[in-house]
């Protein structure tokens, strides 16, 4: 390894994988991202980022560009009932807007920070081998199996992580959380402006965020006892369930191309005993996949990337640096994962009594309680890296 950095392999070219690759390259590392998809396409929908994630992006050198492709959204503190009444209203000066963007826009920004040769598409990691001195990723390509060696391997390959299963064969399997989610994005300029909001129904939650180019991202989550339920017409199914909810919900649905609506089951992970083993570390959903109810999944992946890049900056002992990363990230990310699992047990309850109590208490508590809860989630600041990845005083 050189004085500035070594060689790193990143399994997974999603937001977390690209972010840590950017952070390591800034620290002088040679990085190769192995992405199983044959090509990067305009896939996915929207999401939102809280201040903790924006600080992480700043630490990685991509904060300004994240802001540039994002639109402020008030959905974090604007809660409504299906009839249109307000349980909570966003108040400037008290509440902090989130930043919403389309996954494809942010992905494009991150890809722009990496040379084309650093990202190998169509490279699906199938196994991991390591010794005291090196780690090897075995990956499948259209031309057959390949092997790549490096000083460190980062598993950013999602909830079904091969890196996790290879390195921790006894790690828990993903857990279905009895939740089904639809996501859609409206045609540009069709329903505008939208400030962002969430609507809580009994056993169902709808949310909407404004996006760039006058688009709106929306989602619907509902209780679903068994995984695998699918519908011939997702948009028609969403309209069947909430088509009589308050405006602009019907307008948003009407402005969404039917064949673009995504539908998926919500899984998360039980706590892992470690995110690091020797020269291998896990990041993002591979380490702590969580439900979307705190809007922290991608935020925690960016935090992971910032901390991991910091710990590996100037590090000469890779296992020790990864152990520090594990010590720094596991308690916080698992606490957030736990909160994200607990939230829908109340907010997505199908019980009439629970729903009535929840909405009444939300009205009585007001935005101040929500702001304090958010502050506990968002009050995170990345470390200032020293030469050997230790936090400066």
Q: What is the 3-state secondary structure (H, E, C) of 92-122?
A: ECCECCEEEEEHHHHHHHHHCCCCHHHEECC
Measure Cα distances from 273 to 156, 174, 280 in Å.
17, 15, 14
Check: CB of residue 21 under 8 Å from CB of residue 62: no
pTM of the model: 0.94
What whole-number distance in Å separates Cα of residue 84 and Cα of residue 68?
32
What residue spans define the domains of the chain? 7-175+268-378
Report phi then psi at 222, rounded to 5: -140, 160
pLDDT in tens, the chain (393 residues): 444 679 999 999 999 999 999 999 999 999 999 999 988 776 779 999 999 999 999 999 999 999 999 999 999 999 999 999 999 999 998 889 999 999 999 999 999 999 999 999 999 999 999 999 999 999 999 999 999 999 999 999 999 999 999 999 999 999 999 999 999 999 999 999 999 999 999 999 999 999 999 999 999 999 999 999 999 999 999 999 999 999 999 999 999 999 999 999 999 999 999 999 999 999 999 999 999 999 999 999 999 999 999 999 999 899 999 999 999 999 999 999 999 999 999 999 999 999 999 999 888 877 666 666 777 789 899 877 555 444 433
Measure Cα distances from 160 to 178, 221, 282, 333 in Å.
18, 21, 12, 18
What whole-number distance in Å separates Cα of residue 58 and Cα of residue 359?
37
What whole-number distance in Å separates Cα of residue 216 and Cα of residue 210?
4
Task: Tell me how far the alpha carbon of residue 216 is from its chain's centroid.
Answer: 19
Beta-carbon contacts of 74 under 8 Å, excluding residues fewer than 6 positions away, are 90, 95, 97, 195, 196, 197
Task: Tell me how far the alpha carbon of residue 318 is from its chain's centroid.
Answer: 26
CA 100-103-106 angle, to 5 degrees, is 80
CATH 3.50.50.60 matches 7-175+268-378: yes
Structure token digits, residue 55: 């600080």
Q: Which residue has the tokens 């040679």?
A: 30
């Amino acid at each position: 390894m050189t004085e500035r950095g070594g060689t790193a392999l990143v399994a997974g070219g999603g937001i977390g994988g690209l972010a840590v690759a950017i952070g390591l390259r800034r620290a002088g590392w040679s990085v190769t991202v192995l992405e199983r998809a044959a090509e990067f396409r305009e896939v996915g929908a929207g999401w939102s980022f809280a201040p903790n994630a924006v600080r992480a992006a700043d630490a990685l050198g991509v904060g300004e560009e994240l802001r540039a492709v994002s639109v402020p959204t008030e959905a974090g503190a604007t809660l409504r009932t299906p009839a249109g009444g307000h349980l909570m209203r966003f108040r400037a000066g008290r509440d902090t807007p989130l930043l919403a963007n389309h996954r494809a826009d942010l992905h494009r920004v991150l890809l722009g920070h990496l040379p084309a040769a650093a990202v190998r598409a169509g490279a699906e990691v199938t196994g991991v081998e390591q010794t005291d001195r090196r780690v090897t990723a075995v990956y499948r390509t259209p031309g057959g199996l390949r092997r790549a060696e490096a000083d460190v391997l980062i598993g950013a390959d999602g909830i079904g992580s091969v890196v996790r299963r290879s390195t921790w064969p006894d790690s828990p399997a993903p857990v279905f959380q009895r939740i089904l989610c639809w996501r859609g994005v409206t045609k540009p300029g069709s329903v505008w402006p939208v400030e962002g909001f969430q609507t809580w129904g009994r056993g169902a939650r709808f949310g909407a965020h404004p996006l760039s180019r006058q688009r709106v991202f929306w989602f619907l989550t509902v209780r679903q006892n068994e995984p695998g339920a699918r519908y011939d017409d997702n948009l028609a199914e969403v309209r069947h369930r909430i088509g009589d909810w308050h405006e602009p919900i019907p307008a948003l649905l009407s402005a969404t191309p039917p064949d673009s609506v995504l539908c998926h089951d919500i899984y998360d992970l039980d706590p892992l005993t470690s995110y690091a083993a020797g020269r291998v570390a896990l990041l993002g959903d591979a380490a702590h996949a969580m439900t979307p109810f705190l809007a922290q999944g991608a935020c925690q992946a960016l935090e992971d990337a910032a901390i991991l890049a910091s710990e590996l900056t100037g590090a000469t002992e890779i296992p020790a640096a990864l152990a520090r990363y594990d010590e720094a990230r596991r308690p916080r990310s698992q606490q957030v994962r736990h909160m994200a699992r607990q939230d829908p047990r109340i907010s997505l309850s199908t019980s009439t009594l629970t729903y009535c109590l929840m909405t009444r208490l939300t009205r009585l508590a007001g935005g101040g309680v929500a702001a304090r809860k958010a502050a506990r989630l968002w009050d995170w600041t990345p470390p200032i890296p020293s030469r050997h990845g230790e936090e400066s005083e």
